Structure formats: structure tokens, C-alpha cells
Amino acid sequence: MPVSAGQRVTPRITVLHGDDRPPGLSEDGLRFATGATLAEALPGTEVLLVWDFTSDAVRDAWPAADSVRWVHTASAGVDRLTFPGLLSSPVTLTNSRGVFDAPMAEYVLGLVLAMAKDLPGTIHAQSRREWRHRETEPVAGRTAVVVGGGPIGRAIARLLEAVGMTVELVGRRDFDGLPRLLPRADWLVLAAPLTDATRGMLDADMLASLRPSARVINVGRGALVVEPDLVEALAAGRIGGAALDVFASEPLPAESPLWELPGVIVSPHMSGDLIGWREALVEVFRDNLERYRAGEPLRNVVDKSLGYVTTSGASA
């Protein structure tokens, strides 16, 4: 059933969690479940909080969701929840849009500065006690193509522009124009949601359109990238480097060549995780829960046909 006015005061809430639970969340009618126990916890559940947003347990347990009216995920991306059973249902889906915008933008700016100024090389030389002088690259005046026109992409664009970069922001409506922008890109930043249209978008053809000095930054979703194609381009020196925070398989397998390829920075899906981020996610859920209890429109309602929140669904 969809969310509408006149909810009962205390809905039954189930929280899907992994190793950690949402801090400070102790609402009435609350129960906790792991991926292994979600199917037995779902019957009678009205509200499902997906705290473990890396889990596929909701898809597997969905046949037991006989009373769910609202699913909220503690993430910006909803790709693990866009399975046919949920998409075809009248259940309302919301995300945690807004929590990660500024942190991810800061992270991307940090990566740009670190790579342009060769901080990895400096740290490596220091570890070997080598006094190795070299010149570094400018940031101001360079061009960044940012793929993802949502709040995260826009926040990234603002910070990159603030240090003097020229930014081309590519959203869903501009996607067809991406190929003509790639040859001009010094930096290609992927911050798009994972949808049918964006899955595998960075493939051999797109990589071949980049200049040899261009660098790729991915803070969106790992499956935006065809990893074997990226590995091949990096190993052959056809692009200048990459900074990757998300991967097709997480944790990144120890045998992945990405760990050791020169010019590559690997981080463990942490670009949006500032100190206090878990508490911020809980507050987003609590705000929407109060709205739900009052029968008011929810914030951050995902357009399930698109796989992300549109402007009309962002706020009540």
C-alpha cells in the first residue's frame, strides 16, 4: 500500500542492519533484523528502514513483505532496491538525499588536488627518505566533466569551480551530449546514480575518447564502470590515472589489479562518510517518520521509474 494520510500513530518498523545498528534509534514498534532474519521479521511490517544499504536481503525477502507501505534507505543510491517486486508495488520508496552532497564534493576536490599535486608521489618518496623535487600540474583553468546532475554532482561542480576549474555538468537530459565533451576533459567525475541508462557507461569506447592525460574519478557506483576496460586503459597508459571509491564488487578483491596499477587511488566507499554521518542518516529517517505518522507527504520520494529523486519528490 502507498503512503497516504491517516497513518496509525505507531507503525511497526523493521530495521535491516549489518554489523552496526543506527545510533540512538529507539522508536516504539521497532524491531531489528539482519539479512539472514529479514524474511521472518517482515510479515506485519509497515515501515522498512534499510540501514544496511549494501545488502540484497530486501530483494530476497520481499515475498514476505505483506504489509510494507514505506521503504527508506540510508543511502543516496537505490539500485539495490530497484527490483521488479518493489518497483511494481505501490510501496513508497525514499532515500537519504542531502546527507552526502557536501562530504562527497569535498572528497572529490581533495582527490583532484592530491593527484594534480602528486601527493601520492610525495608520500611514497618520504617513506623511502628520498628528496625528489618535481613539478606539479595546475588545477585552475582545467576542465572537469561531472556526470550526474543531482545534488551531489552540483555540489562537486561548485567546489571545482571555486578553485578555478571549468565544469561541464552532465545530467540525464544532457547525457547524449557527453561524447562531444570527453575529448576536452582533464577530469571525468562520475557521480551519477546507477540506472539502466548509466550501467557500464564508462567502457572502452568512452575511455578511448579521453585524452591520454585525463583522469577518472568515480564516487557514484562501481557498476557505472566496465572495470576490465578501465584496467586495460590504465595499464596501457591510455589515460592519466583514476581515483576510485566504488567498485563492481565490494570489498575490492585482493587480487584486483587496481590495487597496484600506477596512478590509481583506491578507497573503500568512504567519500560521503564524515564524522557524524550515521547520526545524520538517522535524523533524515526520523524526520520522515514524523511526517509518516502525521499523514504528511514524505521527503526524498524516489521516482521508481527513474531510480532517483526528482525535484518534485525532494521536499514536501
Answer whether residue 7 is part of any domain: no
Q: Is residue 230 part of a domain?
A: yes
Q: Is 27 a catalytic residue?
A: no
Question: pLDDT by residue for the chain (316 residues), tens digit each?
Answer: 555 545 456 899 999 999 999 999 987 779 999 999 999 999 999 999 999 999 999 999 999 999 999 999 999 999 999 999 999 999 999 999 999 999 999 999 999 999 999 999 999 999 999 999 999 999 999 999 999 999 999 999 999 999 999 999 999 999 999 999 999 999 999 999 999 999 999 999 999 999 999 999 999 999 999 999 999 999 999 999 999 999 999 999 999 999 999 999 999 999 999 999 999 999 999 999 999 999 999 999 999 999 999 986 776 5
Q: How many domains does the chain have?
A: 2
Judgement on whether residues 22 and 159 belong to the same structural domain of the protein: no
Looking at the structure, do residues 59 and 190 belong to the same domain, yes or no?
Answer: no
Catalytic residue among 59, 269, 286, 291: 269
Task: Tell me which residue range forms the domain holding 58.
Answer: 13-99+275-314
3-class SS string, the chain:
CCCCCCCCCCCCEEEECCCCCCCCCCCCCEEEECCCCHHHHCCCCCEEEECCCCCCHHHHHHHHCCCCCEEEECCCCCHHHCCHHHHCCCCEEECCCCCCHHHHHHHHHHHHHHHHCCHHHHHHHHHCCCCCCCCCCCCCCCEEEEECCCHHHHHHHHHHHHCCCEEEEECHHHHHHHHHHHHHCCEEEECCCCCCCCCCCECHHHHHHCCCCCEEEECCCHHHECHHHHHHHHHCCCCCEEEECCCCCCCCCCCCHHHCCCCEEECCCCCCCCCCHHHHHHHHHHHHHHHHHHCCCCCCEEECCCCEECHHHHCC
Q: Is residue 5 in some structural domain?
A: no
Query: CB–CB of 141/164 below 8 Å?
Result: yes
Tell me how far apart the alpha carbons of residues 15 and 133 are, in angstroms, rounded to a whole number: 53
Is 28 within the bounds of a domain? yes
Q: Are both 294 and 261 inside the same structural domain?
A: no
Same domain, 72 and 184: no
Tell me, yes or no, if 17 is annotated catalytic.
Answer: no
Burial class (CB in 10 A: 0-12, 13-18, 19+), 235: exposed
Residue 152 lies in a domain: yes
Q: Does residue 118 form part of some domain?
A: yes
- The Cα–Cα gap between 93 and 5 comes to 16
Please indicate, yes or no, whether residues 32 and 173 belong to a single structural domain of this protein.
no
- Tell me if 8 is assigned to some domain: no
Catalytic residue status for 124: no
Cα 50–Cα 51–Cα 54 angle in degrees, nearest 5:
85
The reply to whether 190 and 287 lie within a common domain is no
Q: Which residue of the set 250, 279, 283, 290 is catalytic?
A: 250
CATH number for the domain that contains residue 94: 3.40.50.720
